[in-house]
């Protein structure tokens, strides 16, 4: 993937990069508090607890990696943040605004500030790469077609997809689809980007490139990110803070060095299994 164009290192630099006005909303006065506060959240499905009294915060411009084995509620936490799922109890605040009690109209406003890159990419199969990336820009409105195409070209260039811009998603590799999905997410001009298992079913080289892309979005454009992953090495490259979920509970929340040094037996087992390489057959 190519290098990003030089950008000022601040959270609103993305708007200059896109060449459009920033989204309306109180930003400066919110800067002192965490952009996300997830407090004592519990949710169950069919009587089975999935998240139990889980709490964490995410500072502006930081990356939180959520780790844990399959089925512990990692992706569920992202869907609660997006308002796709309503918790049974607890509080979720985005930039100081409680979102758990919002109706669908209010959640649509929230989703202008926070967006999600799904594991499968969730691209429109009938639209080309270029049209997929343009979709959020046209939906938001306020731009003429020339402006839309300029922004689309810039975003496609950022993720290194210039050579497939006229292709349909079905013809792309898994890694390419995820990169295009990131470009489409950026087109919505969010403040927070959520990534659901971005390295699943991709080879180590593509995983590294996706990690580089997420890092550059953070450092050069100021995005706040939450990355759900089972890959400790991937998290080590990205995380400012780590949340480890075990049986639906927050077994650890804190710094990456603290996570790697903890003596919690469940975390030690997770780290050991992640390091294990099966013998060659």
E strands of 95-206, at which residues? 97-98, 114-117, 192-196
The mean pLDDT of the chain is 84
What burial class does residue 55 get, using C-beta atoms within 10 Å of its C-beta: 0-12 exposed, 13-18 middle, 19+ buried?
middle
Lowest mean pLDDT among 16-25, 106-115, 124-133, 160-169: 16-25
Q: How far is CA 196 from the centre of its chain?
A: 7
Determine contact, residues 116/82, Cβ cutoff 8 Å. yes
Q: What are phi and psi of 74, to 5 degrees?
A: -60, -55
Percent of the chain that is helix, strand, coil (3-state, to 5): 40, 20, 40
Q: In the structure encoding, which two tokens stand for residue 48, read together? A: 């089975």
Q: What kind and span of H or E run contains 245?
A: strand 241-246
**pLDDT for res 199:** 83
Better-scored residue on pLDDT, 109 or 201: 109
Calculate mean pLDDT across residues 107-127.
86
**In the predicted structure, residue 269 carries a pLDDT above the cut 60:** yes
**In the predicted structure, residue 175 carries a pLDDT above the cut 50:** yes
Determine the topology of domain 13-19+34-126+191-274 in CATH. Answer: Rossmann fold (3.40.50)
**In the predicted structure, residue 144 carries a pLDDT above the cut 90:** no
CA distance 77 to 43: 9
**pLDDT for res 9:** 39
């Amino acid at each position: 993937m190519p290098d990003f164009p030089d950008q000022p290192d601040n959270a609103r630099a993305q708007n200059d990069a896109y060449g459009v006005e920033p989204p309306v909303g109180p930003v400066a006065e919110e800067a002192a508090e965490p952009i996300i506060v997830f407090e004592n959240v519990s949710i169950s499905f069919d009587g089975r607890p999935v998240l139990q009294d889980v709490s964490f915060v995410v500072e502006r411009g930081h990356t939180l990696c959520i780790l844990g084995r399959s089925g512990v509620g990692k992706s569920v936490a992202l869907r609660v943040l997006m308002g796709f799922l309503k918790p049974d109890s607890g509080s979720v605040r985005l930039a100081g605004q409680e979102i758990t009690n919002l109706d669908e109209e209010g959640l649509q406003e929230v989703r202008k500030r926070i967006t999600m890159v799904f594991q499968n990419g969730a691209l429109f199969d009938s639209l080309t790469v270029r049209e997929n990336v343009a979709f959020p820009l046209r939906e938001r409105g306020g731009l003429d077609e020339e402006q839309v195409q300029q922004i689309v070209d810039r975003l496609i260039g950022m993720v290194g997809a210039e050579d497939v811009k006229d292709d349909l998603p079905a013809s792309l590799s898994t890694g390419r689809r995820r990169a295009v999905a990131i470009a489409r997410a950026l087109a919505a001009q969010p403040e927070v980007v959520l990534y659901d298992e971005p390295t699943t079913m991709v080879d180590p080289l593509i995983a590294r490139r996706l990690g580089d892309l997420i890092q550059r979005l953070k450092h050069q454009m100021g995005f706040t990110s939450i990355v759900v992953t089972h890959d400790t090495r991937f998290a080590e490259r990205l995380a400012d803070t780590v949340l480890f979920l075990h049986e639906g509970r927050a077994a650890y929340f804190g710094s990456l060095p603290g996570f790697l040094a903890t003596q919690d037996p469940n975390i030690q087992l997770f780290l050991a299994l992640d390091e294990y390489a099966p013998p060659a057959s």
